[in-house]
């Protein structure tokens, strides 16, 4: 009889240094990670709350503004100051301003040779702002105009009765 012997050689893992850190168990790692995530969320929430007292709105231009009308402006011709929602007119009786915001849904009306027209829903207005075709429910409001030196001051917040003009 023949006997065969097999020898297994096992190599032992090198013994770690006593200075090497111990491996962190998975459960401990997940617990620490959740604590760090909760701490980070609290820090960001605190930073967000510090911004609350300061309003996050953009400043809008003043509703009162100064306008110098062009010298070559013909009677009945509309002059729309850049970035404003009023049309200024000059005639023999004086100077006046009409809002260019449609009274239906607030679209900006365009000046035409027949008055004003809303490009959104088709409302039409006469040159003095009266409605000629709906769906706009009311006329375009007239805005307050005052003379100040050689220019005019328009107040977009203050409505005046239709026909109110300032002597040029």
The per-residue pLDDT for 45 is: 95
Per-residue pLDDT tens digits for 111-146 = 888 888 988 888 999 888 889 887 888 888 989 888
Whether 119 and 110 have beta carbons less than 8 Å apart is answered as: yes
Q: How confident is the model at residue 1 (pLDDT cuts 50, 70, 90)?
A: low
Q: Confidence band (pLDDT; 50, 70, 90) for 3?
A: low
Q: What is the mean pLDDT of residues 43-63?
A: 82
What gap in Å lies between CA 150 and CA 76, rounded to an integer?
Answer: 20
Query: What's the token pair of residue 61?
Result: 């231009």
């Amino acid at each position: 009889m023949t006997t065969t012997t097999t020898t297994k050689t096992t190599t032992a893992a090198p013994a770690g240094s006593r200075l090497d850190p111990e491996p962190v168990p998975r459960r401990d790692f997940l617990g620490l990670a959740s604590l760090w995530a909760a701490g980070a969320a609290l820090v960001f929430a605190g930073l967000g709350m510090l911004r609350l007292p300061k309003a996050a709105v953009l400043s809008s231009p003043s509703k009162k503004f100064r306008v110098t009308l062009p010298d070559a402006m013909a009677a009945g011709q509309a002059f729309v100051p850049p970035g404003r929602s009023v049309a200024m007119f000059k005639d023999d009786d004086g100077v006046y301003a009409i809002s260019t915001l449609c009274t239906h849904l607030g679209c900006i009306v365009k000046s035409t040779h027949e008055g004003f027209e809303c490009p959104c829903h088709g409302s039409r207005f006469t040159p003095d702002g009266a409605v000629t075709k709906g769906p706009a429910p009311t006329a375009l409001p007239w805005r307050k105009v005052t003379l100040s030196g050689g220019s005019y001051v328009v107040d977009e917040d203050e409505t005046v009765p239709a026909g109110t003009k300032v002597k040029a």
